[in-house]
Each structure stands twice: as C-alpha cells, then as structure tokens.
Structure 1
Amino acid sequence: MFTQAIVRPPSKNFADGLTREDLGPPDFNLALAQHAQYCAALQRCGLQLTALPADPRHPDATFVEDTAVLLPRCRVLTLPGAASRVGEIEAIRICLENQGLPLQAIAAPGSVDGGDICEAGEHVFIGVSARTNEAGAQQLAALLHEAGYSSSLVDIHGVDGILHLKSGMSWLGDGRLLLIEALAAHPAFAAYERVLVESDEMYAANAVRVNDHVLIAAGYRRTAARLRELGYALIELDMSEFRKMDGGLSCLSLRY
C-alpha cells in the first residue's frame, strides 16, 4: 500500500526536455491541466502528495520517478543516464531527507533511471537501457540484495519503441505483469501471469497500480477492457502532452 507521493509540475520550458518522439511540441497549459488531473487521481487513491515547485533549470524534472527508487526497506537516489538530468537529484534528496528517510545512492560510473526499475512485490526488475547501464544495474541489485529483495536484469537495448523498461511493462499485483509483446517471452517474467498489450496500444503498457486502482493512459480501449475483465478498477488519464516528451504515467510521481 502506498501512502505518499512526490510530484512536480512541468515548467514553462517543458518542451526543451529530452524526447525521441516526433509528435510535435507539448502544449504547456494542457500539460499543466493533465498533471493536475494526475495528482487528483493519486489523491483519490489515498496518497498524500508532496508537490515540489516547477524547475525551469531542468525541463525534464516533472518526471520525478527517474530520480529515486523507493521501496519499504531500500531507498536509493539514482544517477540519471542523461547528463542534463543529474541536477534533478538534489531537490529529491533534500525532500526525502526532510522526511527522515535514510538514503543510499548510485555512484558513477553507474547510471540508473527510475523508469527502468519495476518493483513486483519482493522482486525487482532492473532494465539495462540507454539510460541505465550495467554498472548502475549491478550496484542497485547489490543494494536490493542487502535489503532482502531479489532482482533480475532485463536488457532492453534491442527492444524497439521503449525508452525505459517500464515504457513496456507494469506490475499489476496479484502475480500479474502488463507487458508489450516484445518483452513477454523474456525468461525473467516466466513465473508471472502475463497480460499482453497489443502493438498498436504499446503506450498503455505503462500503467500504475496504486492501492485499489490502476491508473492507465486514456484512449487504449482494448487494454482497458482486458484489465476491467480481470477485475481492476481503472482511472483513465489523458497523457497526450507527456507522451510527446517520452513520458508516461509512472514517470510523474515517486510513490512510497
């Protein structure tokens, strides 16, 4: 059960952030409105929010998930794989320390983006990607092991269409993973029930289980219908402006 989340709205120069998408520039006012709806959804799920101010020094800073990995027994500040994002860590460190949370940290030459980390109960999947390197993945795996968690490394370098591991998968609880087809056959996921996302709805694979609800991007009818058939209570949210900047639902909060 999550009780808290850290969020940060996009800054006015949000469009200057990193993206591989070719969907046009985001509409800042619409992004603000979508972010507000996202925050309201987290509160509906029972979370108390800590809202950090927008940070125009770092146009990607609204994607706070990439800055830390927060599990009940293991809290780690990451070291983002994009040099322009390293400065985002300090504000998150201060925020978490002010809450009295003990922190560990990834050190260079390792790099880790939180978007590559998928917690599945007592097991953690660690994506090795363009943003999370092998050294960083191994550091995180060692810290998780010390805290009593098991982990698996999943190399996604050859998987088209996803930036981070969680761009293509989500933990639904109940022993289930929501997965794109390109990840479904990976041996790391063999012990789980796999709910497949069709190729034309890939973006919907980045869903977020928050207590009794699953947050899912709006507009992906077949994926939403499948999750409802499985008994999940969905909250569908418009993510159009964040998708333009390579972001998804999980990216917009640090939940703990």
Structure 2
Amino acid sequence: MNFTHAITRKPGNSFPYGITTAALGKPDLELALTQHNQYCADLVQLGVQVDVLPALELFPDSVFVEDVAIVEPDFAVLTSPGAIPRRDEAQEMLPVLELHFKRIYQIEGNATLDGGDICKVDDVYYLGLSARTNLEGVQQLAAILNLFGYRSVLIDIRPLESVLHLKSAVNYLGDHTMLLDPRLAKLDEFADFNRLIVPLEEAYAANCLRINDGVLVPFGFPQTLELVTNAGYDAMLLDVSEYRKMDGGLSCLSLRW
C-alpha cells in the first residue's frame, strides 16, 4: 500500500448543490474547505506528493476525483460516471492525467463506471456492480486490467440499501486485511482475508483509507477506530462530515498511485 502521488480537487461554491441521497443537510462550504485542506495535509504527512486542482464550478461533485479515473503507476483509465450530471466531468481530468501517464484508456459507449466501485487488493481488482457502475463498464475495465496482469472479481452491491459504491462498504488495509460493512462480510470472495467488520451503526466508517504507514479513519466512529488500532494500524482521525452529507468519504477525495 505504498503511494507517492495523489491528485485532489478543491470543492467549489457549487459543492453544496451536488448529488446526494444522505439527507444530512446542506454542507457548510467553509468547513468543507477546512476539512479538505486537512485531508491534503495528512496525505503529505504520510509521504505523498499532492497535486491540488482548482475547483470546477460547473461540476459540484468534482471534489470526488476518485470517481473519474483509475490510476496505476504505469497507466490510467478515464471512467464514465454513472450519474448523468457527472458524465462530462471525467473529461476535465484528461489533461491532468496526460501530465502523469503515458498510457491512458477510456471507458466508452453505453458503459458506466465510477471509480468508487473499484477496490484494488494486491494484484486483484474487485469491481462493484452498482447503481452507478454497469456490467459493460466493469467488463471494459476488466479487459484493460487484464492487459497488465491484474485479475478482476465482480461484486454485485445493488441489493444493499444505502451503499452507493463498493468502497462505501469494502476497503483493503494491506497485510491481507479487509475492512468490511457487515452486510458483505460473509461473501465467499472475502473468506480468505483477515476481516475487520465494522458495526452496522458505523457502516459509513468502512470507508477508511490506508496510505503508506497510516490509516485515515473518519472522525465520529469510535468502535471502528478501536477496531483499526487494535489490529495494529497507525490510525489518523479526520473529520469529513461535510463530504458525508454529499455521499462522499475519505477515498473519494483523491486519486492515488
């Protein structure tokens, strides 16, 4: 789980008017900016060089950069987000990716794919089938990943209520350990892992983020924090309350490689 680079994007004035199902109220933009600055600072503290892109006012959800690309050190894939208002947002990331990657692929046609549905575990990619990512999208991505020797495993999360993306419920902490929403903990696909299962009332906190020697944990979920620290990880608390209001979490806020 070693990362040297990350891309983030500042939230714009339009951020509070983005897409959400959370029903937690409108986010406070000033607080969201403060939380974003701290997020970037924590990545730097963990040894990552962070490129912070300016806000895109035409795309209120563009702070969630993870959804528009899949990145590896030697290639990148530009996605096709499933939410129609975000569809053109991915193209705004293309010139940025061209500064970092020589090989860039694109999800095309009627395929939809959100980066939040993609979870890398060593040399395997878990591909979430969701309301935002369709079968054609995961099939196109799997074909690209296969070119580089990665195996793909499909996980259908559509039956799960209030789970937007695969990584809303499943995250790899390294060391053969998965952090899991309890509703996915019994899947055969995760049977061979060390499983850290968050309590259902803290399901949001399944979206923790391993960065080099640390694990970012969302503030306000004490049982999950204890679970992560008791497993031997160096946890760093970060408040992302304003992003939760917009269906976002820790992993959503950066592209990492």
TM (norm. structure 2) is 0.97
Match of 1:160 in 2: 161
Specify the SS of the correspondent of 2:252: helix
Aligned pairs for 1:1-256 (under 5 A) are 1-256=2-257
Specify the SS of the correspondent of 1:173: coil
Provide runs of 4+ in structure 1 moved above 6 Å.
none
Structure 1 counterpart of 2:76, one-letter code: R
Structure 1 distance, partners of 2:130, 2:102, is: 28
Structure 2 distance, partners of 1:112, 1:122, is: 20
Q: What whole-Å deviation, never above 9, does each CA across 1:13-59 have from its counterpart, x for those lacking one?
A: 11110000110100000000000010001101111111110011000
Structure 2 counterpart of 1:215, one-letter code: L
> Structure 1 stretch 70-79 or stretch 39-48: which is displaced more?
70-79
8 Å contact kept, 1:10–1:62: yes
Specify the SS of the correspondent of 1:153: strand
* Unmatched 5+ stretches in structure 2: none
Structure 2 distance, partners of 1:94, 1:188, is: 36
Q: What whole-Å deviation, never above 9, does each CA across 1:217-249 have from its counterpart, x for those lacking one?
A: 011111111111111001110011000000000
8 Å contact kept, 2:75–2:101: no
8 Å contact kept, 2:130–2:158: yes
Q: What whole-Å deviation, never above 9, does each CA across 1:122-158 have from its counterpart, x for those lacking one?
A: 1110000000000001111111111100110000000
* Unmatched 5+ stretches in structure 1: none
- CA RMSD in angstroms comes to 1.0
Structure 2 distance, partners of 1:186, 1:11, is: 39
Shift of 1:74: 4.2
Shift of 1:101: 3.2
Aligned pairs, how many? 256
TM (norm. structure 1) is 0.98
